[in-house]
Structure 1
Amino acid sequence: MKTNVHLIVCLSLLLFGCSDDKYDDCRVFRYNESAGVTTLDPAHSRSLELMWVVDQMYDGLVELSPNLEIIPAIAESWEAKGRVYRFKIRQGVSFSSGRQVEARDVVYSLSRLLDPNVASSGGWILDAVEEGGIVALSHDVVEIRLKENFPPFLGLLSTTYASIIDSDFSDDLRSSDAGTGPFKLKWWVEDVALVMHKNERYWEIDNEGKSLPYLDAVHIDFVPDMGSEYLGLIQGRYDFISGLHPAYMQDLMDSDGGLAEKHNGYLELKRTPFLKTDYIGVLVDGDMENMKGSPLLDSRVRKALSMSIDRASIAKVLRRNAVLPSDHFVPPSMPGASNYSVPEYNVEEAKNLLAEAGFEGGHGLPELNLGTTADYVDLCSALQSNWQKIGINLIVDVAPSSVHRERVATSKIEMFQKSWLADYADVENFLGLFKSSNFSPGGPNYTHFKSEEFENLYNEAMLTNNDAIRFTKYSQMDSIIYSEMPIIPLFHDQVTHFVSTDVKDWIVSPVNRLDLRRVKLSCANAEN
């Protein structure tokens, strides 16, 4: 045991100094994951920190490009005829064991998502697949049959849940890797660090015929303190950090949301629109005992709440302009979404809407309750101030995350702060939230919004494989949500990365996936 501890310390300090493998330290990419990593199994990759690691070790049949297009990966091609998809497996793609990928591996990988013994959180990506509908037609052709038409299906196969695993692998996938990705696991000490080495068998090459990846290794620390992570970036120990956190946001960014001047020269701020929306949900189910007679059942009241929010000021003061203010739910960067429009901010019109609803000046309105967590108290306090201007008194009910989730899922609170992050790049991923079949607690329709017109448009959209027709239906559905306003959108997030200037060819993904295949390091900032 003492020898193992010594080895771990040695590896942590020198990375490869105690190994026979010799690597150029300027080709080792380093970052910190404050949330840690609990599993390497793609079937359980439900959070970003897990997706980032799985993406390095595994490939899927298809992948999502930075432009949100579905492009080939292990499947070199595919064809879709109605509800039947056929995928041709690319030749020359090998697992870390050396065996080439076959159609049987695809069947195994996807089928295990439905295995109750695996208990995957990703089985939902196969909801549209008929029972027994994943079949190997030959060693390099796999067929997937759907039980109902679902045009966004290919997008679901770009998630890490759909990673292809070596079906001959018999060890524990939680702590081992059995994929075809650009890197392979070298060692992992939970709560300490994880190291991946370049996969010398990786199948992909660049435009000049050079093998990918360019890096020799990836080193991930698991330091829970965000302040330490920030210092690691400043001191050059880490090559990037993702997102905004109070521990470092004010130091790294200026008041306009750009990179603070003192960091110019050794850091870069990289951004792209994130397929994520922060919103205030409103329970609109008049059959619920706690909502009977509630003024929130009147869409004019909900519209007044939305129209009286100064989203631009909130974005600037609280988020350093790192978010896009919006009063529409679907992010404009999503393929098929409506074009961006500046959110309407009109306090006088909001007052008029309240008067039309019978609450002129807020008279007759009871106090409204808004549920949230400690992370969003600043945001909810801003809403409280905004709504006071139209005569609405708001009580902000702060609860632990687990309690807040329970209250929202069980319809115990009339208004709640939430966010929605796309799992796949199709507008359906956002609008499907409002289907009546998705009523909570079984689904994510926490507002219990229901509209026959909306449901009909949804069904019509799913029946066509013509993108233009489907996108028109989506636009009509989005208009219904905007008109009825069961949710009050606040802003669309942006993927925000602070990256060392040593890092070249960095890609910022709209779904915040981590692609290190083409990343290079110059080491210009390295200490002598």
Structure 2
Amino acid sequence: MITLIKDRLHRWFICLLPIAYCLLFFSCGSPEIESDKKFFRYNESGEITSLDPASAKRVENIWAVNQMFNGLVQLDDNLQLVPCISKSWEISDSGRTYTFHLRNDVYFHDHPFFQNGKGRKVVAQDFVLSLFRLMDMDEEQSSKYLFSNIARDERSDNLGFIAPDDSTFKIYLIDPFPPFLNILTMQYCSVIPNEIVDRYGADFRRNPVGTGPFMFKAWEEGVKLVLVKNEHYFERDNKDTRLPYIDGITVNFIKDKQSAFIDFEKGTADMLSGADMVNIDLIIDKEGKLKPEYTGKFKMQTGSYLKTDYLGFLVDPDSAIVKKSPLRIKEVRQAIGYAIDREKIVKHLRNSIGTPAEQGFVPKGMPSFDSTLQGFTYNPDKSRELLTKAGFPGGKGIDEITLNITEQYLDLSQFIEHELSEVGIPVKIYLNRPIVQIELIANAQVNFFRKSWVADYADAENFFACFYSKNFSPKGPNYTHFKNKTYDALFEKSLNESDNAKRFEIYNRMDKILIEEAPMVPLFYDQVFRLVNNNIEGFALNPMNLLNLKRVKKK
């Protein structure tokens, strides 16, 4: 009975400690932080649901987690793999064994649950436990699929995460997988202190302890998140100065974009991110330039983003909704692809934020992107020819098709409706709530929809997996239920090709099949868009749209 009472008191203490701390921290107004000009402040219009790397699926979560945690390897701003906690590595056994050599100067953040409250050194066994934790997650956990290719150690019945000593970590794969190192750059794969996770349990989501450049300070969900500088961070710049430069980060949660912009104009925030989060018609012209009244007031940054917006078609021949739809005919889908003026979409609906998607499904900025690939371009005459070939000359006899969207994309969908009507294709727009839209598409209950795909990691395999027949939704990302033997064979071949040039050629052939069979038609390749105050320096963009603040300076 005494033990039971102690256990309950311990759990209550763990639950109440962060709540009490937040109340104290925020009720005092944190004057030392609010007055400190070296804190980087940004607004998050979305919702951060967890600070646990295992839940780093949403961009809001990813950005926060990226400040507090590290993995074995990381990407630089040019998407090149560079060391992180692992200072070097080797790949052997025909691409099935990865051996990582760890730094010996990486420590977890200080925390009361560590001995004497001081963060301990990271060792290889920490990676064994961290990655095993991902594989031990519930089936619906997004991170679980990443390690479906992990083998078992030949010397034991353990999963293929092995720590021969404190500074060596090995991973064994069942089959070679060339993009595997890119997977390890994802925030899911960050190292965590297992003893702290065990103490907090599910509440680790709001009590994170990592190794990153910033440490958790306080979080009042939906109100404010505060991170502070890790004075013992292991990375240094090329002048041997310890990173990070700034003293901390504060995140506010203002959902109204006009209020967020006013906050930014006043200097209360240092950055706004995303073209959807500002009134772009107010700020930039149709050529994508800051309007004169804002020129010099702040900086605008744009760059490639590994994200493709597209129209998807359910093409499963066994589906009842496909059998009775004109979209079952390839030429009709192709006609839709040629009927849409993508340059108008980018210029007039997005104020030149983005690039017309005229090369294929893989976006500009991906290392394997091929600018010479001929995809769908605006050609209404060709669109009409394809409709005639499909048996619908001038659109005669074709049934109305329903485009499923969410309200956020109503303007875009109305433009598409107009474009298709010009070649004789009647379209009805149907608005769904976001959660309903997701479920309808995942469960193959709609056959025409707007969607986007954002890279999980910097390899086109991540995009082509969306059309591999073994990845049918809802268990996989093949929302169109596209199935093509040649495509599948090429996809499987690419997984065993370690030579980048040869693998990229396979990717090119796969993209050509997607253009020909048209289970989707790309609309535009998105761009990273940020407004940044003039007193911020060293704020680089990257095509993964990661928020990297360890090298940012504030004047």
Which bracket does the TM-score occupy, shorter chain normalised?
over 0.9
Q: Which aligned runs of 4 or more in structure 1 are off by greater than 3 angstroms?
A: 1-7, 116-120, 340-343
> 2: CA distance between counterparts of 1:324 and 1:4?
44
Q: Residues 313 and 51 from structure 1, CA distance in 2 versus in 1: closer, same or farther, beyond 3 angstroms?
A: same
> 2: CA distance between counterparts of 1:15 and 1:311?
50
**Cross-structure match for 2:4:** none
Q: Following TM superposition, by how much is the alpha carbon of 1:6 offset from its aligned partner in structure 2, in angstroms? A: 6.5
Q: Residues 352 and 395 from structure 1, CA distance in 2 versus in 1: closer, same or farther, beyond 3 angstroms?
A: same
Q: Residues 258 and 515 from structure 1, CA distance in 2 versus in 1: closer, same or farther, beyond 3 angstroms?
A: same
> 2: CA distance between counterparts of 1:478 and 1:4?
51
Matches within 5 A, 1:300-311: 300-311=331-342
The one-letter amino acid of 1:337's match is F
> 1: CA distance between counterparts of 2:258 and 2:247?
28
Contact 1:62–1:72 (8 Å) recurs in 2: yes
Are residue 233 (structure 1) and residue 264 (structure 2) matched? Answer: yes
Per-residue displacement from partner, 1:395-438 (whole Å, max 9, x unpaired)? Answer: 11111111111211122212111100000000100011111111
Are residue 432 (structure 1) and residue 462 (structure 2) matched? Answer: no
> 1: CA distance between counterparts of 2:493 and 2:167?
34
Q: Following TM superposition, by how much is the alpha carbon of 1:118 offset from its aligned partner in structure 2, in angstroms? A: 10
Return the match for 1:150 from 160, 177, 187.
177
Contact 2:216–2:226 (8 Å) recurs in 1: yes
**Cross-structure match for 2:523:** 490
> 1: CA distance between counterparts of 2:328 and 2:390?
11
**Cross-structure match for 1:101:** 122
> 2: CA distance between counterparts of 1:4 and 1:352?
65
Q: Following TM superposition, by how much is the alpha carbon of 1:448 offset from its aligned partner in structure 2, in angstroms? A: 1.1
**Cross-structure match for 1:25:** 36
Contact 2:465–2:477 (8 Å) recurs in 1: no
**Cross-structure match for 2:155:** none
Q: Following TM superposition, by how much is the alpha carbon of 1:225 offset from its aligned partner in structure 2, in angstroms? A: 2.2
Q: Following TM superposition, by how much is the alpha carbon of 1:365 offset from its aligned partner in structure 2, in angstroms? A: 0.5
Contact 1:30–1:238 (8 Å) recurs in 2: yes
Contact 2:305–2:364 (8 Å) recurs in 1: no
Q: Following TM superposition, by how much is the alpha carbon of 1:341 offset from its aligned partner in structure 2, in angstroms? A: 5.8
Are residue 84 (structure 1) and residue 97 (structure 2) matched? Answer: yes
**Cross-structure match for 2:440:** 407
Matches within 5 A, 1:38-49: 38-49=49-60
**Cross-structure match for 2:309:** 278
Return the match for 1:388 from 421, 437, 453.
421
**Cross-structure match for 2:5:** none
Q: Following TM superposition, by how much is the alpha carbon of 1:306 offset from its aligned partner in structure 2, in angstroms? A: 0.6
Per-residue displacement from partner, 1:217-271 (whole Å, max 9, x unpaired)? Answer: 1111122222221111111000001001365222221222112221122211101
> 2: CA distance between counterparts of 1:89 and 1:237?
40
The one-letter amino acid of 1:473's match is I
Q: Residues 116 and 262 from structure 1, CA distance in 2 versus in 1: closer, same or farther, beyond 3 angstroms?
A: same
Q: Residues 303 and 15 from structure 1, CA distance in 2 versus in 1: closer, same or farther, beyond 3 angstroms?
A: farther
Task: Determine helix, strand or coil for the equivalent of 1:463.
Answer: coil
The one-letter amino acid of 2:433's match is P
**Cross-structure match for 1:186:** 217
The one-letter amino acid of 2:135's match is L
> 1: CA distance between counterparts of 2:147 and 2:124?
17
Structure 2 unaligned runs (5+)? 1-18, 111-118, 153-158
Q: Following TM superposition, by how much is the alpha carbon of 1:121 offset from its aligned partner in structure 2, in angstroms? A: 2.6
Contact 2:33–2:39 (8 Å) recurs in 1: no
**Cross-structure match for 2:3:** none
Per-residue displacement from partner, 1:319-344 (whole Å, max 9, x unpaired)? Answer: 11101111311113101221266851
Q: Following TM superposition, by how much is the alpha carbon of 1:500 offset from its aligned partner in structure 2, in angstroms? A: 0.6
Return the match for 2:353 from 319, 322, 334.
322
RMSD (Å) for aligned C-alpha atoms: 1.8
Task: Determine helix, strand or coil for the equivalent of 1:270.
Answer: strand
Return the match for 1:371 from 404, 413, 421.
404
Q: Residues 270 and 4 from structure 1, CA distance in 2 versus in 1: closer, same or farther, beyond 3 angstroms?
A: closer
Are residue 339 (structure 1) and residue 371 (structure 2) matched? Answer: yes
Per-residue displacement from partner, 1:22-44 (whole Å, max 9, x unpaired)? Answer: xx722111111122322111111
Task: Determine helix, strand or coil for the equivalent of 1:212.
Answer: coil
Contact 1:283–1:415 (8 Å) recurs in 2: yes
Contact 1:337–1:474 (8 Å) recurs in 2: no
Structure 1 unaligned runs (5+)? 18-23, 523-528
**Cross-structure match for 1:211:** 242
> 1: CA distance between counterparts of 2:481 and 2:45?
35
**Cross-structure match for 1:113:** 134
The one-letter amino acid of 1:127's match is S
> 2: CA distance between counterparts of 1:228 and 1:246?
11
> 1: CA distance between counterparts of 2:443 and 2:22?
48
**Cross-structure match for 2:14:** none
Q: Residues 340 and 424 from structure 1, CA distance in 2 versus in 1: closer, same or farther, beyond 3 angstroms?
A: farther
Are residue 10 (structure 1) and residue 28 (structure 2) matched? Answer: yes
> 1: CA distance between counterparts of 2:49 and 2:442?
25
**Cross-structure match for 2:431:** 398
Task: Determine helix, strand or coil for the equivalent of 2:204.
Answer: coil
Matches within 5 A, 1:114-133: 114-116=135-137, 120-131=141-152, 132-133=159-160
**Cross-structure match for 1:290:** 321
Contact 1:93–1:180 (8 Å) recurs in 2: yes
The one-letter amino acid of 1:16's match is I
TM-score, normalised by the number of residues in structure 2: 0.90
> 2: CA distance between counterparts of 1:3 and 1:398?
43
Tell me the percent identity.
38
> 1: CA distance between counterparts of 2:333 and 2:467?
17
**Cross-structure match for 1:71:** 82
The one-letter amino acid of 1:378's match is D
Task: Determine helix, strand or coil for the equivalent of 2:151.
Answer: strand
Q: Residues 454 and 67 from structure 1, CA distance in 2 versus in 1: closer, same or farther, beyond 3 angstroms?
A: same
The one-letter amino acid of 2:303's match is T
Contact 2:336–2:383 (8 Å) recurs in 1: yes
TM-score, normalised by the number of residues in structure 1: 0.94
> 2: CA distance between counterparts of 1:89 and 1:110?
16
Per-residue displacement from partner, 1:50-100 (whole Å, max 9, x unpaired)? Answer: 111111111110011111111110000111112111111112111113311
